[in-house]
């Protein structure tokens, strides 16, 4: 199964991606996680990506598209994949289509997790993430069992640098301008499905499974 997760920052893409990837045994590919790993390892890509990410801007398409093509060429993606945070521009979507269509394949579902803007700020500022395994928590909506510690690997949780109020607002503007057009893009390809992301985390996952079951 080849799935794309769409939705604004804080919609719950990363949270749901972990469960979807486990259930359907497909690799979870998050461009945000790949960039953050490069930043923590201070690679040349990480140094460039950081400039944009700290400001809530998109990393340029030229850097992002090749990175994803390389990842999708790996053996574990043959059985399918779950893309989280890519594509984010029409140019990225077209490049992905070209890459997949060249192999005679296609995207099965572009799954939009819908959450209104007014709920997002609280989600982002209360988010805590695990720098080691990438798990995402929320101080109110999804608190870890041991305060400040990852429930999966035990590492100390941190707050993302781009999760402050000002940068979140900038990221939302970038989403509206550059990423939202992808909703119409995938609708016109008849692969768009929408779930209500305002419900509880388990309920959203249930809805995602029924949508994927129908495909």
Please tell me whether residue 184 binds Zn ion under the rule CB under 5 A: no
Gap between the Cα atoms of 163 and 127, Å rounded: 8
- Determine the interface stretch with ligand AP5 among 73-81, 98-106, 147-155, 194-202 (rule: CB under 6 A): 194-202
Please tell me whether residue 153 binds Zn ion under the rule CB under 5 A: yes
Question: Which of 21, 38, 109, 136 contacts ligand AP5 by CB under 6 A?
Answer: 136
Please tell me whether residue 2 binds ligand AP5 under the rule CB under 6 A: no
Q: What is the maximum span of the chain, computed from C-alpha positions, in angstroms?
A: 48
**Nearest approach, Cβ of 208 to ligand AP5 (angstroms)?**
11
**Nearest approach, Cβ of 215 to Zn ion (angstroms)?**
31
Number of residues that bind ligand AP5 (CB under 6 A): 35
**HSE on the CB side for 85, CA within 13 Å?**
23
**HSE on the CB side for 52, CA within 13 Å?**
15
Taking the CA atoms of residue 6, residue 9, residue 12 and residue 16 in that order, the dihedral angle to the nearest 10 degrees is 50
Strands 136-138 and 127-129: antiparallel
Question: Which of 123, 134, 144, 157 contacts ligand AP5 by CB under 6 A?
Answer: 123
Residue 45 class from Cβ within 10 Å (0-12 exposed, 13-18 middle, 19+ buried)? middle
Please tell me whether residue 135 binds Zn ion under the rule CB under 5 A: yes
Q: Could you give the string, one character per residue 90-129, with x where binding to Zn ion holds by CB under 5 A and - elsewhere?
A: ----------------------------------------
Give the count of beta carbons closer than 10 Å to the beta carbon of residue 115. 19
User: Where does this chain bind ligand AP5 (CB under 6 A)?
Assistant: 7, 9-15, 31-32, 35, 52-53, 56-59, 64, 85-86, 88, 92, 123, 126-127, 136-138, 141-142, 171, 197, 200-201, 204
């Amino acid at each position: 199964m080849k799935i794309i997760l769409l939705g604004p920052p804080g919609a719950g893409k990363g949270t749901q991606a972990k469960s979807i990837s486990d259930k359907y045994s497909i690799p979870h590919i998050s461009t945000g996680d790949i960039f953050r790993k490069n930043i923590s390892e201070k690679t040349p890509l990480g140094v460039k990506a950081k400039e944009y990410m700290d400001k809530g801007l998109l990393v340029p398409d030229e850097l992002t598209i090749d990175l994803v093509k390389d990842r999708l060429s790996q053996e574990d993606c043959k059985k399918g994949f779950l893309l989280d945070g890519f594509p984010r521009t029409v140019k990225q979507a077209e490049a992905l289509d070209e890459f997949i269509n060249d192999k005679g394949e296609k995207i099965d579902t572009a799954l939009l997790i819908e959450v209104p803007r007014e709920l997002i700020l609280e989600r982002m500022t209360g988010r805590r993430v695990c720098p080691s395994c990438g798990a995402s928590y929320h101080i109110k909506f999804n608190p870890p069992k041991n305060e400040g510690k990852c429930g999966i690997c035990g590492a100390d949780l941190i707050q993302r640098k781009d999760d402050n109020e000002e940068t979140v607002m900038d990221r939302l503007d970038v989403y509206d301008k550059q990423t939202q057009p992808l909703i119409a893009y995938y609708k016109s390809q008849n692969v768009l499905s929408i779930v209500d992301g305002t419900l509880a985390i388990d309920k959203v996952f249930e809805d995602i499974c029924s949508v994927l079951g129908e495909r």
